[in-house]
Structure 1
Amino acid sequence: MTEQAIQIIARGPRIEAEAAAARIDETPGADTLTYSILEEDEDHDVWRIDAFPTSDEERDATLEALKAFPELRVTTEVLADADWLAMALSGLPPVRAGRFFIYGAHDRGLAPPSTVNLRIEAGAAFGTGHHGTTVGCLIAYDRLLKRKSFRRVLDVGCGTGVLAIAASKTGANVAVGTDIDRVSVRIANENAKLNRSQARFVHAWGLNDTKVRAKAPYDLVFANILAPPLVFLSQDIKMALKPGGLAILSGLLRTQERRVLAAYTSKGFRLVRRLHRDAWATLVVQRP
């Protein structure tokens, strides 16, 4: 662990920021880093990367990766001893994604009666619904629901559990979420109770875990993770799906689409739809 909590900020043109984010994903020591990328100033083409290393290795690897992009202005700030997560969440507005409305405790009175309302408390887990990848997954799922229903759903890398809970609230009899992080699993199960959802979340190190295989094959698999594990898990996701089943893949930048899609088409998947939100991409693919 680093002695002090720090934040690494990099600002610059979109093409440089996206390339830097892709480099971070592929850099040993920074491949598990928590970071975000967003557009800060549309008129001046300024994009921003915010990275939050939790170890000296992550910090050094991230700074080294960013050095390859001289057009990015990189700064490092020490975070004061404060409840940054609570402060950040207090300023996050609710999110509307298709039929879904995602909100936190601070906005519990704003949920409209005409939407599928999901109260999601993040704690230390990823997935409040504000990130472009989470929104992309929910919009893709909303569009699929207009044509068919999904009775058995798996959420790989569940984070807060928002995707499996959304599936459970829209007709899935089985909604299973997995994560390699035990804290995320605990938070996801707490969110399921908050939403009176039948979604269940388990700690698992892969799709071959008996807790995952017990409910297979699935009609739909969510995988909102990073590009490298999406590629690595392509065969396992195929085997977890029933023939003709669909997968919603996200957590990848637009610059990583080709690489991820190639891994799935090589396994026989066909592309059904792609969605873009800011720098992020969501792919819907179908098992043959």
Structure 2
Amino acid sequence: MSDCGSRALSVIGFIGSVFSPWYAWSGRRDPENHCCINVATYGPGGRFTMTDRGRSALRKTGGALTVGPSAMRWQDGKLLIEVNEWGALPMVTPVRGTIEVVPEAVTSVELPLTSDGAHVWRPFAPVARVSVALEAKGWQWQGHAYFDANFGTRALEQDFAFWTWGRFPEADGATCFYDATRLDGTRLAQAVHFDRAGNAGAITPPPLHPMKRSMWAVRRETRGDAGCQPRQVMNMLDAPFYSRSMVRTVLGGVESVGVHEALDLRRFRSPLLKPMLAFRVPRRARWSFPS
């Protein structure tokens, strides 16, 4: 998120692109044949890119991940991202440039999301700074950021019905909330505070508050002090099964604006969604790197 709060972006590297209809239609047997660097920019001139690519586009070398024309690599304590993508329909225009994420510290935390460890959240750097230099007017800015990862050995919809996640910056670090309803009826309700040195501690989750539903009527909720009313301050990504937005809440008597996600896996399981997603997630099975 930019320091002024008017722009934001997200970058996700997928090996086994969990939201790709092509990966689902393939039976999810070969994750390396469905890889992607998903880039989405939010604010004036925002674009969404998510191209499902075949295994010929994938390179993994040490601390680097390359998928076709885009790459991310860990170098000198920084995450350097080189973006060279095309926006999805209906705004098929280039999205190019560089992004640099500088963590204040790297944690050693891993949080299993299911009792058997089939799904794991790894918050590498919940407190970081980002510098954005994309080739578009107004897309050169700095702000606060985070760097995390999710790992899984089963499809999300096999184990979860619904979840929300949020990361909210605070003066001394950041607090993350992970709330989920599993298909077996059990619930995850995790709140973790990270300080600027990378130390993490579980905290008592503040109350869960309902929020206004998204444009696609996805149910949303997040946590905050008793009596507060969390609300969206910027819509970032809206899909029939998913919502990402900037949300303002109150933690310890202090307002915080962070990134919030809500994911309805019951909706995502619908076969009707996959053809809709294919319009936004094109498949490019072949790729050749320059010799």
| Common fold by TM > 0.5 | no
Q: Greater strand share, 1 or 2?
A: 2
TM, length-normalised to structure 2: 0.28
Structure with greater helix percent: 1
Structure 1-normalised TM-score?
0.29
